[in-house]
Amino acid sequence: MKNILPTPLQYKKNKLTFDGISLERIASKHPTPFYLYSKKTLDFYYKSFYQSAIKEGIPSPLVCYAVKANSNIEVLKRLKKLGSGADVVSVGELKKALKAGIDPQKIVFSGVAKSATEILFALKCHKRGIYSFNVESIEELELINLLAKKEKRIARISFRLNPQVNVKTHKHISTGNKTHKFGLLKSDILEALAVPSFWSNTTLVGLSMHIGSQLTDLKATVVAIKELANLAHSIEIPLEFLDIGGGLGIDYTIEERNKLASITQYMQTASEALTKFYYSKTDHCPRIVFEPGRIIVGKMGVLVSRVVRTKTSEDCHFTIIDAGMNDLIRPALYDAYHEVLAVNQSKKMILTDIVGPICETSDCFGSKRKLPALKSGDLVVIDNAGAYGHTMASRYNERDIAQEVLI
């Protein structure tokens, strides 16, 4: 199934454009490397995701955008305007989501290591606190209850189920099995529900899951939804929501483009599984919460960089650029593939390794790539860098953090 995901990039007369504007012109105004984001593309993906949920009959869908994918304040403000909530994993992300104006009653807080300070802040940020603490351990539940009691509040919580599924993705971003630190097993959740002292100042409002990132096929998602539904059936309490997490992938490669599940296929599959395993067997009608990150912001962003110089060592050719693994760590960390495009196309191509300035051999954006023979000052673009790019940047080698430009 061919599945074209829109991108802001397009060659016009052999020159690369971004939302129709010449990249050379954009780059003349900003020091490289910099991240470049397209508001238009951001809008497209958020609206496609939300409208697809509506079209597939998902009950009152709430999109809680996973802030860790891209926490740029303008991006968050835009998403807020479009109606988005937020999935946060730290008090820093929570503060940023609030600063962008996102309604606390649309914010879920995930993560295995929420500290007392973080829990307190989330409890007190609004008279009803946040929409939900997605609880990942029994100790965390006890702490939330204790702190809520001290503050004379009721904390809204959901359990993050570990559905024990194996996901086809990179091992660093697979999160749904019991050997992973995430979520709770069904038996532990049922046991905790039976302990009255955990529930004096907490109330169970939902169940959640998140099985991994850059998911391209939906088999594990269906199994996990079935597990989530089974757990919901085992609990008498009427739930306000079921949160089926994020994880939908994008096409970094042509191969992925051909096998990737589209937003429509994802929503159809989720809707069918939820009906079959849950709604058809109960009178309750909890709403569905989603936590998408990459699918919302991945394709809207690129990393723009200039060639510093080239060198050869025997038959190896290197194109050295001014962006490094500190700016975009995905290739070094996950062996991730990112297309590298020359801003000026040419018929004469060479095979070259695109490498950065960092003193590590893993500081490489691609080996043996077919590119024009570039020279110092030429512009290149690293594609699909809107998600897990800038948010994972570091100052390694005392380099500055790349600027972000939104157009």
Ligand X SMILES: *Cc1c(COP(=O)(O)O)cnc(C)c1O
Q: Which is nearer to ligand X, 293 or 366 (CB)?
A: 293
Q: Which is nearer to ligand X, 68 or 306 (CB)?
A: 68
Which entry of 64, 125, 285, 359 is annotated as an active-site residue? 359
Enter the tokens of residue 134: 């997605």
- Residue ranges in contact with ligand X by CB under 6 A: 66, 68-69, 87, 89, 110, 210, 213, 245-248, 291-294, 387
Amino acid letter, 367: S
**In the chain, how many H helices and how many E strands?**
12, 19
Rounded CA-CA distance 213/33 in Å is 26
For the CB of residue 386, give the shortest distance to ligand X in the complex, in Å: 11
Q: Which is nearer to ligand X, 66 or 260 (CB)?
A: 66
Enter the tokens of residue 120: 């307190």
Asked whether 326 and 399 are in contact (CB, 8 A), the reply is yes
For the CB of residue 162, give the shortest distance to ligand X in the complex, in Å: 12
Residue nearest to ligand X (CB): 293
Q: Which is nearer to ligand X, 56 or 93 (CB)?
A: 93
Rounded CA-CA distance 296/39 in Å is 11
For the CB of residue 318, give the shortest distance to ligand X in the complex, in Å: 32
| String of DSSP letters for 364-401 | EEEEEEEEE---TT-EEEE-S-SSSSGGG---GGGPPP
Q: Which is nearer to ligand X, 156 or 294 (CB)?
A: 294
For the CB of residue 159, give the shortest distance to ligand X in the complex, in Å: 13
In 36-115, where does DSSP find H-type helix?
A: 39-55, 73-81, 91-99
Give the phi and the psi of residue 281 in degrees, each rounded to 5: -115, 15
Strands annotated E in 215-342: 241-243, 287-290, 301-313, 316-321, 340-342
Which of 152, 143, 92 minimizes the C-alpha distance to 124? 152
For the CB of residue 129, give the shortest distance to ligand X in the complex, in Å: 19
For the CB of residue 290, give the shortest distance to ligand X in the complex, in Å: 9
**Which SS3 state, helix, strand or coil, does residue 237 take?**
coil
Q: Is 359 a catalytic residue?
A: yes
Neighbours of 20 (CB within 10 A): 9
Asked whether 296 and 49 are in contact (CB, 8 A), the reply is yes
Q: Which is nearer to ligand X, 66 or 332 (CB)?
A: 66
Q: Which residues are catalytic?
A: 359
